[in-house]
Amino acid sequence: MLLKVSVFIIFAIFKSQAALDPCRGVVEGKNYVMNPRGCSWFFSCENRTDPQEGKCPHDLHFNVQSQSCSYPENVFPRCTLDDDLIANTPTKCPTNNDMRLVPHPFECSNYTLCWQRNWQNLKCPDDRPHFSIFDMDCNTEFLADCKAVDRFCGSVELEQFEANPQGCDDFVMCSECENNYKLHNFQCLPGFKFNKGNKTCLGENDFECHVKESLAFDLPPRPFTTDCSEVTTLRTHHPGDCQYYFYCTSTGSMLAKCGDGENFDYEDAECKVNGVCHPNINSTFEAEKIKIERKITNNIPRIDLN
């Protein structure tokens, strides 16, 4: 006999910042719809004009058919959003001049800005402390839903020293306790570097560290990305600087810069010597001050355990 347990709990959900009216065309009686942020995520559409984001607890997946939070094996068809997101997330800087944001392999608060074949390690601000591989930018801990440690530790041998892909001065080790991964950080002594072949710290003169050093350079203006789903052209202007623009691709957007003496022409969507900026482009862009409105509700999908 199958036992179905329905549990209603208080749950934090957030006003959507990225979705374009996800509740449009929702069927009567279906108050929740799938959220591309991941398999556990959903949109609450009870208020059709104010969609809100939420997440199933305890790594349960949202089941759009039963309108519930279910074990992953009970969701049909199987959700691949998490796997697809990881597969499409860049892990290294490109070899060309394109701008890319790359998440740190195991630290949620850090990421790398790749720009014109250089790169610089950056840290998320306090009000948006974690890097989101869905938004490819810093966000709240809840919306970022960072699983960097789980992904990293799931790909290496446990209780073995592993190199930090971004440096030779430190190294890490993964362990597992009660089905949860834990990451331990270690530092080589001064004058020593971690050798990933020997998995130990050696003198700087005993081997050559092949990790490219981070370079200091002038950062391009924020935002580093844009939502291309609202863009009708291949290129679109940057809201804070006339020399910059976004190049839209099938997987997102890339920040680019016009040549010396050129501005991005808003009407023709290309760089020109006398390019005309959109009037709003010269206004001060305060991306760092954008806040995400938090709401609390008890109206979430039931927890379906069967």
Question: Tens digits of per-residue pLDDT, 1-42?
Answer: 333 333 333 334 444 344 457 888 777 767 899 999 999 999
CB 33 within 8 A of CB 43: yes
CB 41 within 8 A of CB 53: yes
Which pLDDT band holds residue 299 (cuts at 50, 70, 90)? low
Domain containing residue 275: 228-284
Q: Which residues of 166-177 are buried (b: 16+ CB within 10 A; e: fewer)?
A: bbbeebbbbeee
Pair (60, 39) in one structural domain? yes
Pair (298, 274) in one structural domain? no
Instruction: Provide the number of structural domains found in the chain.
Output: 3
| pTM given for the model | 0.72
User: What distance in Å separates the CA atoms of residue 130 and residue 9, rounded to the nearest whole number?
Assistant: 25
User: What distance in Å separates the CA atoms of residue 40 and residue 53, rounded to the nearest whole number?
Assistant: 11
Residue 53, pLDDT above cutoff 50: yes
Which segment of 19-23, 169-173, 189-193 scores lowest on mean pLDDT?
Answer: 19-23
In a domain, 6, yes or no: no
Q: What pLDDT does 171 receive?
A: 93
Pair (129, 207) in one structural domain? yes
Angle CA(60)–CA(65)–CA(71) in degrees, nearest 5? Answer: 20
Nearest to 151 by CA among 212, 185, 103: 103
In a domain, 211, yes or no: yes
Pair (17, 65) in one structural domain? yes
In a domain, 78, yes or no: yes
In a domain, 114, yes or no: yes
Contacts of 55 (CB under 8 A, 6+ apart): 11, 13, 38, 40, 41, 42, 142, 145
Pair (128, 192) in one structural domain? yes
Pair (108, 172) in one structural domain? yes
The two three-digit tokens of residue 191, written as one number: 């004058």
Pair (68, 51) in one structural domain? yes
